[in-house]
Amino acid sequence: METKLLNLKGEEVGKVNLPEVLFSVKPDPCFIHEVIKYYLANKHRGTACTKTRAEISGGGKKPWKQKGTGRARAGSTRSPIWRKGGVVFGPKPRSFRQYLPIQKLRQALIEALSARAADGAVMVMENLALEAAKTSSLKGLSKSLNAKSVLFVTDKMDSNFKTASRNMADFGWCLAQNLNAYEAMSNTKLVFTTAGLKVLADTYKEVK
Does the pLDDT at position 206 exceed 80?
A: no
Per-residue pLDDT reduced to its tens digit, 17-65: 899 989 989 999 999 999 999 999 999 999 999 999 999 999 899 999 9
Per-residue pLDDT reduced to its tens digit, 159-191: 888 888 888 888 999 999 999 999 999 999 999
Q: Comparing C-alpha atoms, which of 103, 91, 113, 136 is closest to residue 182?
A: 113
In a domain, 12, yes or no: yes
Task: Work out the burial of residue 169: count CB atoms within 10 Å of its CB; fewer than 13 is exposed, 13-18 middle, 19 or more buried.
Answer: exposed
In a domain, 38, yes or no: no
pLDDT of residue 187: 93
**Domain that includes residue 109, residue range:** 2-26+97-207
- Give CA–CA dist 164/70, Å, rounded: 72
Q: Is residue 192 domain-shared with residue 111, that is, in the same domain?
A: yes
In a domain, 39, yes or no: no
Radius of gyration of the chain (CA): 27
Does the pLDDT at position 69 exceed 60?
A: yes
pLDDT of residue 208: 53
Q: Is residue 79 domain-shared with residue 176, that is, in the same domain?
A: no
In a domain, 117, yes or no: yes
pLDDT of residue 11: 82
Q: Is residue 75 domain-shared with residue 21, that is, in the same domain?
A: no
Q: Is residue 111 domain-shared with residue 18, that is, in the same domain?
A: yes
Q: Is residue 60 domain-shared with residue 163, that is, in the same domain?
A: no
Q: Is residue 200 domain-shared with residue 111, that is, in the same domain?
A: yes
Q: Is residue 110 domain-shared with residue 201, that is, in the same domain?
A: yes
- Give CA–CA dist 10/21, Å, rounded: 27
- Give CA–CA dist 4/136, Å, rounded: 23
Contacts of residue 193, Cβ cutoff 8 Å, sequence gap at least 6: 124, 125, 126, 127, 128, 152, 153, 154, 155
Query: Of residues 208 and 67, which shows the higher confidence score?
Result: 67
Continuous H helices in 5-152:
20-23, 29-43, 102-118, 139-145
Domain boundary among 95, 115, 135: 95
Per-residue pLDDT reduced to its tens digit, 128-161: 888 888 888 888 888 888 888 999 999 988 888 8
Q: Is residue 53 domain-shared with residue 121, that is, in the same domain?
A: no
pLDDT of residue 94: 95
Q: Is residue 113 domain-shared with residue 163, that is, in the same domain?
A: yes
Per-residue pLDDT reduced to its tens digit, 24-34: 899 999 999 99
Q: Which helix (H) or strand (E) holds 15?
A: strand 12-17
pTM score = 0.83
- Give CA–CA dist 123/34, Å, rounded: 26
In a domain, 139, yes or no: yes
In a domain, 90, yes or no: yes
State the DSSP code for 165: G
In a domain, 31, yes or no: no
Cα angle, residue 20 at apex, residues 11 and 192 outer, rounded to 5°: 35
* Residue 122: strand, helix, or coil: strand
Per-residue pLDDT reduced to its tens digit, 79-113: 999 999 999 999 999 999 999 999 999 999 999 99
What CATH number does the domain containing 181 carry? 3.40.1370.10
204 — pLDDT class (breaks 50, 70, 90): confident
Q: Is residue 110 domain-shared with residue 193, that is, in the same domain?
A: yes
Q: Is residue 188 domain-shared with residue 119, that is, in the same domain?
A: yes
9 — pLDDT class (breaks 50, 70, 90): confident
Number of domains in the chain: 2
122-125, strands of its sheet edge to edge:
12-17, 2-6, 122-125, 189-193, 150-154, 171-175
Q: Is residue 6 domain-shared with residue 106, that is, in the same domain?
A: yes
In a domain, 147, yes or no: yes
Contacts of residue 19, Cβ cutoff 8 Å, sequence gap at least 6: 197, 200, 201, 204
